[in-house]
Structure 1
C-alpha cells in the first residue's frame, strides 16, 4: 500500500506528465520555439524574467516569430522591426486585445485604458483621446503648461548653485505636475505629503512589476494570494492611488460640474451625467478611477525616467552635451521660450532627444496583446485568444535598422547635411491600435524640458566621482542606477 505522501507524489508526476504531453501536442499549432519543461514551460530559459536581451538571443535560433510557454500558457514573441511592425499594423484590430495576468486583473479589475480590453476599452480610450485634445494636447495652451513646469525645474536646479543632487525626484515632480494640472486642475508642491505618498506608491508598483515574484504570482495566483510579500505591498500601493482618485472625484462632485470643464475629471463627470439615463451607462466612476491611475502612472513615470536617462547620457557624453548647447545658443535668444515647434530649427537637439528614447528605451519588452479574432501573423494562422508580445527593444536595437544599435549615437537621426530624419524603426510608443495615447504630450515634454535644462546648465559628475553606470535596473520600467549630478549654471 502506498502512503498518502507517496500517492500524492505519484499523482503529481502523473499530472505533470499529462500536462507535458498536452503542451507537446499544442505546440504544433504555434510558431516553433524552445522546448518547454513541465510546470514552468520556458520560464527556466528566461531565468523567470522577461529580459529583452534573452528574447533577442532566442530569436537568433528560432526566428523573429517564435513561441514561449509560461507553464502551459503559450505566448508568441515578435522580434525585430519588420516582425513587430507587420504583426502590430497589418491587422491592427485583430491584435488589439490586452492580455492580463492574474496580478494585473487583481490590480486594475480590467477597467480604465491601459489594462482593459474589448468594447469598454475602445470607449474609454476614444473618450480619453478626444478629451485630451479638447484640453489642448497638440495646442499652444497645453504647451504653456509644459513650459511653466520646465521653468520651475530650471529654477530648482538654479537654487542648488551647482551642489550635487539626485535628479530623479525633481524630474518626476515636474513631469507629473503637467499630468496633475490636466487631470486634477492643480499642481502639487514638492513638499506636499500626499504627493510623496503617491510617488512612493508609484515606485512600489513599478518595482514589483516585471520581477520574479510578479511572474510567480501570475503562475500560482491561488498560492500567492495566501502569502505575504511585495505583491501585497504593490496591490496596496495601487489602492493608495485609487483612494486618492476617488477623493478627487468626490471633491469635484461636491464643487459641482462647471459649464466649462476645467480638467479631465470635469469632462468625465459631465459625460457620466449625459449617459446616466442609458440602459447601460458607458461611463462610470470605477472606470474614471482607473483612467486617473493610468494617466498618473503612465504620464509621470515614463517621461521622467526618460529625462533621467537623458541627463545621465549628457554626463557620460560631454561632447554631445556641448554640441547641443552650441546649437541652442546659435538658434535661440536667451530670453526666448522654448517651444516644441523649435525642434525644426534644432535638428541636433531633436536627434539627441530621440536617441535617448531609442538607446535607453524604458520599456523592457512591450505590453502583451491578445488576438480578438482568428487572424494571420507573418503568414502564420493564429487563433482567437492567442497572446502576442512585441519586443519593442528588439526594434530599437535592430542591427538591420540602426548603424550602431548598441552605441549612443545621435547620428542615427541625422543625414549627412545635419538635417533631422525620422526613422520608421523608432517605435518607443509602440504601434497599432495600442499606441500610447499620450504620445504627443510625451514628445512635447521631453523636447521642451531637455532643451530648457541644456540651455541653462552644464551637467557634470560631482567632484571625485569618475564612473557612473549606464546599465538599467529592471522593473516595470528600466531605470538608471541612482546617481548624483551637478547642474552648473552657464
Structure 2
C-alpha cells in the first residue's frame, strides 16, 4: 500500500512542477486568450473557420498576443505595423521556418519551403536565379503560359456554353506551366502519371490543416502507433518524390549540361560544379524536394486564385463587363497580350489583385521561428517562438481599405484610374521569406485571366440563382465545387 502512496505523491509532485513550469513559460510570452476562450469562440462559430477570429482576439489582447496550442505557444502578429516591424525590419531574425513533427517527416528539412539555415539560403538563391535564367520575367516563359492559356480556352469552348466544372482544366493548365519549367515537357490531360500526381496533390492539400494533421502535430508520439489517419498523406509525398526521381534519372540518361533546358538540367549541372565543395547542399534529396515545392506552391495557390477570380466574375457581371470593355478597347479581339501590357489594362490588373485580397486563399501567413529574443512594439518575443503573421488582419483592415468586406477593384486604383501596387497587399508574405514565385504567379494570373475574359462571358447555369462562396479549408482556402457556363463572345471561340 505504501508503494502506491509514494507513486501518487511522486505523480502529484511532477504535476505541480509541470504546472509551475507552464506558469513560468506563460510569463515569458505576450499575454493572450485562455484555452477556454479559444474553445468557446470555435464552438460559437459552429466549428467553421472564422477569418475574423484572430482580428477579434487582437482587439482584446493587442496586436501581438499568444495562443497556446497544448504546451506550444504561437505568437500572433496582427496588423500592418506589427507584421512589418517583425518580418521586414527584423527580417533576418524571422527568416527561420518552424519544423513541425509532420513536416519534419514529410520534407526532412530539405528543399526551399521547409528548410532552414545554410540549406535554405543556398537552395532558395539557386531556385530564384534558375527561374530567372529560364525566363520567368521574359518572353520565353510568357509564350509558354500563353500557349497553355490557349489550351484552356479551347477546353472551355468545347463545352459550347453548357455547364462545366473549371477545377480540373484550371489546375491542369497551371501545373503544365510548372511542368515545362521543371521537367522540360508538359503532360497530356489524359496521362495516367499526371492524373495520379494531380490526385496526390489534391489529397495532400486537403490533409494539411485537417483534424488528423493537427492531431499529428500535437501528439506525434501517439500517431506513430496510430498510422491509418496519415498513412495516405505520407504515401502522397512518396508518389511526388518518386516521380521527381524518375524525371531526374531520365535527365541523367540524356544530359544537356551545355545547354540546360529546364530546372533539373541546371540543378544537375550545379551538382557537378559543387561536388568537391564540402559546404554544398546540392544533392538528390534537395533536388527532389525543390521539385515538390515548385509543384505544390506553384500549382495550388495560382490555380486557387484563378478559380476564385472566375467565380467572382460570375457573381459580379458588371465588373466582368468593365474588364472585357477595357481589353477590347486596348487590344481588340485578336491582338496578343503580354505581361508588359498590364499598364494598358489597369482596371483588369486591379481586379486580379482585388480578387486575391477579397478571397485570400491562405488561412494566415506562413509561420516563422524567432532566431533571437526580440522586442516588437513593446512586446518581448522569446527566442525559438513560432510566430504567425495574421495577414487577414491587414487585408481586411477598415483603416487601410475603403470597403474591406466588398469586392472593390478601386482599392488598387488611384484617382486617375492607374494601378497602385500597395504595400498592404501581403498575400505573398514579406521579408526574407517572401514568396519566390510572386512574379511568376502574377504573370500567370494576368495572361490566363485576360485570355479567358476576352474569349468568354461567364454566367451561372440556367436555374442556379446563387453560389456558395464559403471556402473549403485545407492548405489553401479553395472554392466549393461549382459549375459555370463559359459563353463564347466571338464565333471563332
Give the secondary-structure state (helix, strand or coil) at the position aligned to 2:52. Answer: helix
Query: Cα offset for 1:168?
Result: 0.6
Contact (CA 8 Å) 1:371, 1:388: kept in 2 or not? yes
Give the secondary-structure state (helix, strand or coil) at the position aligned to 2:201. Answer: helix
Aligned residue pairs, count = 486
Query: In the alignment, which residue of structure 2 is the partner of 1:259?
Result: 258
Query: In the alignment, which residue of structure 2 is the partner of 1:88?
Result: 87
Query: In the alignment, which residue of structure 2 is the partner of 1:347?
Result: 346
Query: Cα offset for 1:214?
Result: 1.3
Kindly provide the CA deviation profile for residues 276-295 of structure 1, in whole angstroms up to 9, marking residues without a partner as x.
Answer: 12234330000000000000
Q: Distance in 2 between matches of 1:10 and 1:394?
A: 48
Query: Cα offset for 1:45?
Result: 5.9
Kindly provide the CA deviation profile for residues 319-375 of structure 1, in whole angstroms up to 9, marking residues without a partner as x.
Answer: 111111111111113211111111111111111000111011111112210122333
Query: Cα offset for 1:463?
Result: 1.0
Query: In the alignment, which residue of structure 2 is the partner of 1:67?
Result: 66
Q: Distance in 2 between matches of 1:190 and 1:299?
A: 18
The question of 1:418 aligning with 2:417 is answered: yes
Kindly provide the CA deviation profile for residues 358-417 of structure 1, in whole angstroms up to 9, marking residues without a partner as x.
Answer: 011111112210122333322333332121111122211112111111111111112233
Give the secondary-structure state (helix, strand or coil) at the position aligned to 2:164. Answer: coil
Query: Cα offset for 1:122?
Result: 0.4
Q: Distance in 1 between matches of 2:313 and 2:11?
A: 56
Contact (CA 8 Å) 1:64, 1:78: kept in 2 or not? yes
Q: Distance in 1 between matches of 2:55 and 2:451?
A: 36
Query: In the alignment, which residue of structure 2 is the partner of 1:365?
Result: 364
Give the secondary-structure state (helix, strand or coil) at the position aligned to 1:68. Answer: strand
The question of 1:106 aligning with 2:105 is answered: yes
Q: Distance in 2 between matches of 1:405 and 1:10?
A: 57
Q: Distance in 1 between matches of 2:17 and 2:135?
A: 57
Moved more, 344-353 or 280-289: 280-289
Give the secondary-structure state (helix, strand or coil) at the position aligned to 1:487. Answer: strand
Give the secondary-structure state (helix, strand or coil) at the position aligned to 2:85. Answer: helix
RMSD, aligned CA: 2.1
Query: In the alignment, which residue of structure 2 is the partner of 1:185?
Result: 184
Q: Distance in 1 between matches of 2:246 and 2:295?
A: 15
Contact (CA 8 Å) 2:471, 2:480: kept in 1 or not? yes
Task: List alignment gaps of at least 5 residues for structure 2.
Answer: none
Query: In the alignment, which residue of structure 2 is the partner of 1:452?
Result: 451
Query: In the alignment, which residue of structure 1 is the partner of 2:468?
Result: 469
Query: Cα offset for 1:10?
Result: 8.2
Query: Cα offset for 1:44?
Result: 7.3
The question of 1:307 aligning with 2:267 is answered: no
Query: In the alignment, which residue of structure 2 is the partner of 1:165?
Result: 164
Moved more, 47-56 or 169-178: 47-56
Query: In the alignment, which residue of structure 2 is the partner of 1:406?
Result: 405
The question of 1:205 aligning with 2:173 is answered: no
Q: TM-score, normalised by structure 2?
A: 0.94
Query: In the alignment, which residue of structure 2 is the partner of 1:287?
Result: 286
Query: In the alignment, which residue of structure 2 is the partner of 1:145?
Result: 144
Task: List alignment gaps of at least 5 residues for structure 1.
Answer: none
Kindly provide the CA deviation profile for residues 394-449 of structure 1, in whole angstroms up to 9, marking residues without a partner as x.
Answer: 21111211111111111111223322222220111010000000111000001111
Q: Distance in 2 between matches of 1:46 and 1:9?
A: 36
Query: Cα offset for 1:53?
Result: 2.6
